[in-house]
Every structure is written in C-alpha cells, then in structure tokens.
C-alpha cells in the first residue's frame, strides 16, 4: 500500500492493536503477523474499526483546523462532537459515561476531574506534532492533555508523543529518537529500551513507542513490534504508526489489507485521508519523501 498520512496511519495502528489489547501474551505471539485485523479474544470492537485513540485525535485535529479560540471549553466541545457523532466502545468507562451525559463543552469541562497520569492525553497528541516548531507542538500537546490529564506524567507523555511526530517529520535518525526525547522532555529513561507488557500509563506507553520507532526500520516492523510488547497495544501502535508515517526514511511495507479493511463509514478511512490533506495544507507540512537509496544500516539503535 502507499504510505498513509498521519491520521490514517494512526487509525491503522489503533485498529490493528485493538485486536491484541491486554490479550494473553501467548495469543499475541502466535497471531501478531500483521496480515490483517483480528477480533479481540473477548469480543467488543469489530476488526478494522478504530478506538478512542483515533476518535479523540480527530477531535484535536479538527480543533487545530478550526478558528476556535484556544479555550478548554472549545477544545472539550471538539472532543465531545467527535464522540457524539459516532459513539463506540474502547473508552475508559468513567470517561465514556461522562461523554454520554454531557451536551456541550462547558458541561464537559465542569464534570472532568483531570488528575490521571494514564495515556489518554498522549493518545490524541499526534496531530500536535505538525506545528512549526517542537516547542509549539509540545505546548499544544500539553495544553490539550491538561483538560483530562493535568498531571506531570500525563502532560509530559503528551509532549513526548507530539515531539516524536515532529522529530520524524524532520527526518531525525530513528536511532537518535530516544536521545532527542531526552533533550526536549528530560527526566525519563527514554534511552532504556522498553521490555514486556505496557501499562495504560502515559510514560510507559511513550517509552514503548520510542523503542519501537528506534529499533525497527519499516512500518510493518514497527507495527509488529508495538503489538509484541503486549498490554496497551492499540495506543502504542497508534502513536508509533502516526509518527512513522511522517518519517521520510521509514518505508511503508504494510499489506494492502490494512488499508482495504480499515473502516470506511462517515468518519473512516476516506474522512481520515481528507483530514490528513487538510492538516498538511494548513500547517504547510511537506509530505515525507524517502531517499532514493536509503542506507542499509545494521544493528539496533542506541546505547
């Protein structure tokens, strides 16, 4: 398949990873082949459908494309619109119920208790990486995270998610991505490769994301590695794939089935592709173009 844009790639990672989220490790090891979407062993979301990671990223992207003032009420309104027009499972139960109850952004802001350090603020921060500088990208990411995850780790995880998209956009050497994060979001062991199941906390998710990006060469390898950790696989895969799609030196070798079978309702594949086009145009981002002969470097990534 052709290389997808950020939003489509994010949805592919989300929908693929959703089939493995907190599934038994032996099941993941056996079926994580990247040959198509899989149903989750406990049921729930149908194969090829994305979850809250993509839906809330749409809300952030639509806010970025709008003329809305930068207030929490208007941002909350965009997140609520994205949910209300297309309710689906995949959300944390408490947040899901609040979204169901609220009718406008003001009500949502009043009902939220933003004290979580989970990955919810980071999962929707990918589009923020399209801002002109890494500092603007992280500023937006931290601000949008603060309405639900106003904790140090919750906001820093969002900053790291946006910084990785920005760094990939700029063609940063994949092996140097952990050190890049050390410079812009210091205080975390980004250069220590993540091993084992990933919890739903923001910082562990981002440590797994940077490990997958830094240690694998192609989009297929990155997707497989993101899920192989086990645990919160849909969020890791969504963030890693969104960033990988923006890197000029990461080739897309994903099978066509991941494009063909990605949901394509009113807010599915074609809508996400349209969002990608609008984001690139609005933020004057040049689509990533690979080198003609990318170097074939061996080994892993960082010390």
| Model confidence pLDDT, tens digit, residues 195-208 | 999 999 999 999 99
Per-residue exposure over 158-183, b if at least 16 CB sit within 10 Å of its own CB, e if not: bbbbbbbbbbbbeebebbbbbbbbee
Q: What is the mean pLDDT of the chain?
A: 94
For residue 222, the Cα-to-chain-centroid distance in whole angstroms is: 13
- pLDDT tier at 290 (50, 70, 90 boundaries)? low
- pLDDT tier at 288 (50, 70, 90 boundaries)? confident
- pLDDT tier at 287 (50, 70, 90 boundaries)? confident
Nearest of 205, 295, 282 to residue 242 by alpha carbon: 205
Number of DSSP helices (H) and strands (E) in the chain, helices first: 15, 0
Is the per-residue pLDDT at 12 higher than 50?
A: yes
Is the per-residue pLDDT at 100 higher than 80?
A: yes
The whole-angstrom separation of Cα 243 and Cα 168 is: 6
**Domain regions of the chain by residue span:** 6-282
pLDDT of residue 44: 82
Tell me which CATH code domain 6-282 carries: 1.10.4080.10
Is the per-residue pLDDT at 293 higher than 90?
A: no
Under a CB-based contact definition with an 8 Å cutoff, are residues 27 and 262 in contact? no
């Amino acid at each position: 398949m052709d290389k997808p844009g950020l939003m489509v790639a994010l949805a592919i990672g989300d929908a693929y990873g959703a089939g493995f989220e907190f599934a038994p490790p032996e099941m993941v090891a056996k079926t994580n082949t990247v040959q198509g979407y899989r149903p989750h062993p406990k049921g729930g979301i149908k194969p090829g459908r994305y979850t809250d990671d993509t839906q809330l990223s749409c809300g952030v992207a639509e806010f970025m494309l709008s003329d809305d003032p930068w207030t929490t009420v208007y941002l909350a309104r965009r997140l609520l619109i994205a949910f209300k027009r297309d309710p689906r499972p995949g959300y944390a139960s408490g947040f899901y119920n609040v979204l169901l109850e609220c009718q406008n952004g003001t009500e949502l802001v009043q009902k939220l208790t933003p004290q979580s350090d989970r990955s919810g603020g980071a999962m929707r921060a990918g589009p923020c990486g399209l801002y002109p500088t890494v500092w603007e990208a992280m500023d937006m990411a931290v601000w949008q995270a603060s309405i639900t995850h106003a904790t140090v780790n919750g906001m820093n995880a969002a900053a790291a998610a946006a910084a990785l998209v920005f760094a990939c956009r700029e063609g940063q050497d994949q092996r140097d991505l952990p050190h890049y994060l050390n410079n812009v979001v210091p205080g975390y062991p980004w250069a220590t490769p993540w091993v084992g199941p990933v919890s739903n906390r923001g910082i562990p998710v981002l440590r797994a994301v940077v490990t997958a990006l830094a240690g694998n060469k192609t989009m297929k390898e990155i997707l497989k590695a993101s899920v192989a950790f086990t645990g919160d696989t849909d969020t890791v895969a969504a963030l890693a794939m969104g960033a990988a799609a923006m890197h000029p030196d990461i080739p897309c070798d994903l099978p066509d089935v991941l494009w063909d079978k990605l949901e394509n309702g009113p807010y599915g594949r074609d809508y996400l592709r349209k969002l990608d086009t609008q984001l690139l145009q609005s933020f004057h981002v040049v689509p990533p173009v690979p080198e003609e002969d990318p170097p074939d470097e061996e080994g892993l990534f960082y010390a």
